[in-house]
Structure 1
Amino acid sequence: MKLKLTVVAAIAAMSGMAMAQDMVVKIGHVAPMSGPQAHYGKDNENGVRMAIEDLNAKGVKIGGKAVKFEIQAEDDAADPKQGTAAAQKLCDAKVAGVVGHLNSGTTIPASKIYHDCGIPHVTGAATNPALTKPGYDTTYRIIANDNALGAALALYAADKLKLKSVAIVDDRTAYGQGVAEVFKKTAAAKGMKVVDEQYTNDKATDFMAILTAIKAKNPDAIFYGGMDTQGGPMLRQMEQLGMTNVKFFGGDGICTSEIVKLSGGAKPLENTICAEGGSSLAKMPGGTAWKDRYDKKYPGQFQVYSPYTYDATMLLADAMVKAGSTDPKKYIPVLKKESYKGVTGTISFEPNGELKNAATTLYTYKDGKKTALN
């Protein structure tokens, strides 16, 4: 009987030891998983899930303990109120770090909540420069911001295409308004005339009145600050109004594969020029091989940002490993000084959390396929 008890005790002790070693580390992720922008959210979440699977396959140790990474995924539906509620939920759950959000309008208010509870978040999608203005040591961006995107598009319009006039439309979100404002200022500085400014919202689908007003001004181009869920129908309606020779510019919000479907392959799609922060997949250090793996796991779901959410997850894990701790207080100082070689490039930060040496790539659509211009 005594022998049996000893064996049982030994097994229990070994079991307890194994459990102690298998520490669970939760990474939060927030994006719109419902509503018209859910295709972006799914793509972003896929990137995080893929990174977590890769980390767990490697058998990562932090502070000498084997860890198992898990995702805690939340839906903000691209709504600022839901975004702050999701952020608070992740704070209450004491996740080790957060990847997200997608939209600037949700990320900016959520960033204060993460700061107040001391949890770092890394966005690979939200581009409004205001995000890093508070200088929180919990806020990091691994993609170029709107200052780079809007300016690159305006310079291309003025210098490369020699366009003289443009109409500007934005969806009044933090993202759409921000990138449109940068484009407008840069275009004006280059001598382009802004002949009209119109506004819509991120739920609209009918742009005939806006486009009819713009058509009367006869601009060389339209710049749209917003997402592909409005950009696609806008291109369709431009074709209906005979605006097939007008150039259509936009930031990373319209720079997706989905816009091909949303526009119904309308002729103005061929005149579309959009910008993304970062290099094209073909020029990313690990882009092509990573995309092949992604497509096998998630066929037909790739949009824009999943390589960045993948890298954001790996970056957080790398900082934890180097710090020997999952405690944000201990690994944030390491995160600040990171020089992580990811799929998208080498990630290191300015003091305010902006990515150092952020690249920008312009794209157009040829034969219904997104194609890099630089």
Structure 2
Amino acid sequence: MFGTVALSAASPTFADDVQVVKIGFAGPLTGAVSRVGKDLQYGAQLAIDEENARKPTIGGKPVKFELDVEDDQADPRIAIQVAQKLVDDGVVGVIGHYNSGCSIPASAVYHQAGVAMITPGSTNPTLTQQGFKNVFRTMGHDGIGGVVAGHFSVEQLKAKRIGIIDDRTAFGQGIADAFEKGVKAANGNIVDREYTNDKAVDFRAILTAMKAKNVDVIFFGGLDEQGAALVKQMRSLGMNTLLFGAGALKSNAFLQIAGPAGEGTQDLEPGPALDKLPAAVDFGKRYKARFNQDVELYAPFAYDAALAMIKAVHDANSLDRAKIVTALATVQVKGVTGDIKFDPNGDLITPPYTLFEVQKGQWKSMRTIGGA
């Protein structure tokens, strides 16, 4: 059932009679990927700060947007609790979550309450295949990215003997499955597929098995810190195999942990080559001026999600949750990462992907595949 948040329901600031409009944010603000969560939070906050500077009005009344921030700790059980709290807080929409394993169960809570949800980081295809009209995302999903990566490994990397490792999470297994599909569609040769978990630190048994099978490319479906440990252990075993990922490896943390061993690692990330887009470069400057740190990775996607949510509120000219969901279905925003508009499932139309490679200890964008 779709709920409604009327203008009179939000808490006013009586000093200037400005209506407070809450937009929720949910992501991992503590734990192993907290740096990503804070990066996402800051990206959304910057969009809200810039909107408030324009003195916005809704329904002819002055409003002030406020980010209602919750930590889901990258834990699906906590994500459900956080989602219910945001719903009860009266948010008109939510930016989040980051992990697909959190977004999928949380989306059911938002669906029940009729609250719009835009994830800036969850890429498992299942999220937008549930038939929920209130769920959207600002990056390409793994069903596209993984398949693109699979084709790329065969057709561009010329891989002859491919090995796959995934961490059995919703993200890791999903992207690995899509990658395998892409490899097979390109008539590639997968000689081994192995599994770990998202807490593992020792991959030598898996790598030894793959070394014995003479793999020339290993695709890893998992997050950056594990990927960095994986590549270091590959090098310690004397493997010159290329480590290839999709949407998980590219971060400063990977470089710090992998060190020189990470040289040559490649990752296919959702989105355009931000280092080559003037709008993204300018965004990075504004972000650093506001938060005194550089963009980690996902902040532009959270910024664009917040832009889309704010635009939908303006398009609806209302704080009615159902009207905002309807407005998001047709919203169009020129964002930092490109044109934000959604297909009937809530996915981006023609999402781009960019190949990055570690060169001299830095991630360098190599080429962009797809996109408008």
TM normalised by structure 2 equals: 0.92
Aligned equivalent of 1:335: 328
Residues 64-106 of structure 1 show CA distances to partners (whole Å, capped at 9, x for unaligned) of: 1111111111111111111111111111111111001101111
Question: Residue 44 of structure 1 aligns to which amino acid in structure 2?
Answer: L
- Unaligned 5+ runs, structure 1: 1-15
Identity, in percent, stands at: 41
Give the RMSD, CA atoms, in angstroms: 1.6
Equivalent residue number for residue 229 of structure 1: 225
Do 1:29 and 1:100's aligned partners in 2 also have CA atoms closer than 8 Å? yes
Distance, in Å, in 2 between the alignment partners of 1:39 and 1:96 is 26
Q: 2:252 aligns with which of 237, 253, 257?
A: 257
Unaligned ranges ≥5, structure 2: 1-11, 368-372
Contact conserved, 1:228 with 1:262, CA < 8 A, in 2? no
SS at match of 1:263: helix
1:311 aligns with 2:304: yes
Q: How far apart are residue 188 of structure 1 and its match?
A: 2.1
Hey, what's the Cα distance between the residues in 2 that align with 1:21 and 1:331? 23
Deviations 1:21-72 (A, max 9, x none): 3000111111111111111111111101111111111111111111111111
For 1:182 and 1:196, locate their aligned partners in 2 and report how far apart those are by CA, in whole Å.
15
Alignment of 1:102-117 (within 5 A): 102-117=98-113
Q: Residue 184 of structure 1: SS of its match in structure 2?
A: helix
1:93 and 2:86 correspond: no
Q: What displacement does 1:303 show?
A: 2.1
* Superposition pairs of residues 1-374 of structure 1, within 5 angstroms: 21-243=17-239, 245-266=240-261, 269-284=262-277, 286-374=279-367
CA contact (8 A) 2:31 2:73 kept: yes
Equivalents in 2 of 1:96, 1:362: separation in Å?
36
Counterpart Cα distance in 1 of 2:199 and 2:285:
33
Q: Show the counterpart of 1:6.
A: none
Equivalent pairs counted in the alignment come to 356
2: CA distance, partners of 1:209 / 1:88: 42
Q: Residue 359 and residue 63 in structure 1: after superposition, are their counterparts in 2 closer, same or farther (change >3 A)? A: same
Checking the alignment, whether the CA contact within 8 Å between 1:285 and 1:345 is kept in structure 2 is no
1:260-290 deviation line (CA, Å, top 9, x unaligned): 0121331xx2221111111111344621110
Distance 1:205 1:37, change over 3 A: same
Larger-gyration structure (1/2): 1
Q: CA deviation at 1:296?
A: 2.8
Q: Which amino acid aligns with 1:79?
A: D
Q: Secondary structure at the match of 1:365?
A: strand
Give the partner amino acid of 1:141: R
C-alpha contact (below 8 Å) 1:164/1:191 kept by paired residues: no
1:172 partner letter: R
SS in 2 for 1:148: helix
